[in-house]
A and B are shown apart, each in its own frame.
Chain A
Amino acid sequence: MDERPRPDIRAVVRPAAGALVAGVVVAVAGCGAAASPDPAATSPGPAATVTGEVFVSAAASLADAFAEIEVAFEHRHPDVDVVRNLAGSATLREQVLEGAPTDVVALANAQTMAALEDAGLTDGPAVTFATNTVTIAVPAANPGGVTGLADFARDDLLIGLCIEGVPCGDLARQVLDAAGVVARIDTNEPDVRALLARIAADEVDAGITYVTDVASADGAVVGIEIPSADAIVADLPIATLADAPNPAGAEAFKAFVLGEDGQAIMARHGFGAP
């Protein structure tokens, strides 16, 4: 159907995930903050020409890694203010399709990005900047005594997955299908951080998240390896947008993520190399 560009929907609030709410708060705060175009400032290095606001829409699973990348990038480019918009990849895709002014998009799988590439919205093809895979995630105390995928069929457990259509939800279903397990799902969460929060709060007994999410949960969530998951790896694509309000900033951010420092941060958060 026809996609008419709409005015700014940056502050679209998807009131589902705590992490997301925080992201929107950041986004709203960022909208108010005027960029300080002061080239004479004490900006070291040759890359100091990048200024202004860089609006980055990133998959929820990238929340922590991109928080660190933002700090490092802003340190290198003091005149830049990175604004992160975190949500499920499918939500971000729809926002961009609806014309939300965005500089950089980083999603959790290639299929979701393909919709943006096919619509001609990206500035050239997307580039894989990291890989990720899924794991069983349970609360630290493992109250359900979960040991493997077979437990997802148990009726006495509260099982959460990401919703279908979101990369982590699709991967989880692939893994379950491959194992021949029919999961008795109790809730389908809109993005992986919403699911992680439920597991960390001990509200569900088991879910399937990314390996990196478990690493980010500071011990509140324990991962149980899925042996077959090695075969199911998601490539995370990053792209600048053709209509980026800040093309120079977008390019610099993408280069930073793909560069040595960005890749080191991704590795530290448990992502695989592209």
Chain B
Amino acid sequence: MTSPTPLPTGRSRRRDVVQRPPAVFVVLAVAGLALFVVPLAGLLVRTPWSNLATLLATDVVTQALWLSLVSSLGATAISLVVGLPLAWLLARVEFPGRRLVRGIVMLPLVLPPVVGGAALLFALGRRGLVGGPLERATGLVVPFTTWGVVIASTFVAMPFLVITVEGALRNLDGRHEGAAATLGASRWTVMRRVTLPMIAPSLASGLVLTWARAFGEFGATVTFAGNLQGRTQTMPLAVFVALDGQRDAAVAMSLVMVIVSLVVLVALRGQWWPSR
């Protein structure tokens, strides 16, 4: 795991000292891990392996999986486009009420998703604050559409991107950017050539977390966007529906979600995180 030859930096030396963890820590860590592993084992024990393929090869499952992938990637893309600038503003610009703004941006992390979904409905529903005028002007109704799913997913997932990128920007050593600016680089060039490459690992992990949260999103979606196969019924909703009576199908779909999520999280961690 760690290189046997001592590296010259102070950080590595410290790592050697803590190489052997205290026994009590190991016990507690295993207990913590059990909380994650045992439910997975419960799922595996219930999995109907013999007819797994039949259970998964249905329109309900394929449409829900497709919808989940599309809407979670859409939410991730929107989060990147508007969340990155938001993180930059929060990290770099002093403005009155910044702490409040940061709190509002972080709110979906702690808010029950159902509350978020209800709030979205009061805002974007066809009798809502914005949704009402929108419908009268254009005839568009956001709930009960795939866009509604994307918006609900973005609402709950984007804070992961903002919080990760803002942290990275705050910890960034400003001297590199300063040097680039001194050498005549425009602000845009500094951002593109210095800042973004330096925060790339954090940005990548923020994007993965955002995607993962959006992929598993349930509460805000069912409250705001409704539940219709092929249009708003994502995998979590399909599992929720199947749990009432088609337990085998629900377990099979849950297993698919676990595998997809695990593959992405494990594969991308090796790729983008420093996996020392």
Q: Which residues of A contact B (CB under 8 A)?
A: 1, 14-16, 18, 21, 88, 90-91, 93-94, 158, 160, 163, 165-166, 185-190, 198, 201-204
Contacts and interface: CB of A to CB of B under 8 A. Distances in A.
Interface residues of B, number: 30
B90 interface: no
Contacts of B118: 18
A15 B144 contact: no
Interface stretch (B6-14, B157-165, B193-201, B238-246): B238-246
B113 interface: yes
A88 B244 contact: yes
Given A15-B218, A15-B219, A203-B143, A163 B241 contact: yes
Nearest to B219: A15
Contacts of B231: 186
Most chain B beta-carbon contacts within 10 A, residue among A14, A158, A186: A186
Contacts of B48: 1
B244 A91 contact: yes
Contacts of A90: 244-245
Interface in B222-249: 222-223, 226-229, 231-232, 240-241, 243-245, 247-248
Interface of B: 46, 48, 112-114, 118, 121, 125-127, 141, 143-144, 218-219, 222-223, 226-229, 231-232, 240-241, 243-245, 247-248
Nearest to A94: B244
A-B CB proximity, top 9 nearest = A187-B226, A90-B244, A15-B114, A186-B144, A15-B219, A202-B127, A165-B245, A188-B227, A91-B244
A202 B126 contact: yes
Contacts of A185: 228
A219 B125 CA distance: 21
